[in-house]
Structure 1
């Protein structure tokens, strides 16, 4: 089972894929104006520090965060323990389906 929730400052784990975190970062390039930026949405495993999935997009919308999230759900689907994904709970992560 995958849960989107707060880790309550408990970022350490002894199991891969048990605790994951994600956020969106904006990178500006070229003239650094509104037409020259991209957004990175990675998901990091707190066990190893590895980025296990990511997406790069020209818009910081729900599609930007859902692509790596769907990949991770497939990756952790058969684990014998719960996976928790922590985010900053920004607008992209709060959309109701």
Structure 2
């Protein structure tokens, strides 16, 4: 199974949001612009924000999410296979900081 499984895209009149799903459980949302915030679309599911530990129910767009360059926001789909291991691995690597 490839590491990069699929990309979530949601478009509106002025905005296209993209975030790669890394396997069935993890969504990464890197900031590719110069700003320190970005909008992040989470598809249907129950997601845990690895940075804050908060649970978010999708589908939802997180507007103005703090994401400075060099920090990759990550979310774990709690209902996906391997979610517990994925969250633990990200926490061990310091992804939550």
Q: Which has the higher strand share?
A: 2
Q: Who wins on radius of gyration, i.e. which is larger?
A: 1
Greater fraction of residues in helix: 1
Superposition TM-score, scaled by structure 1 size: 0.29
TM norm structure 2: 0.29
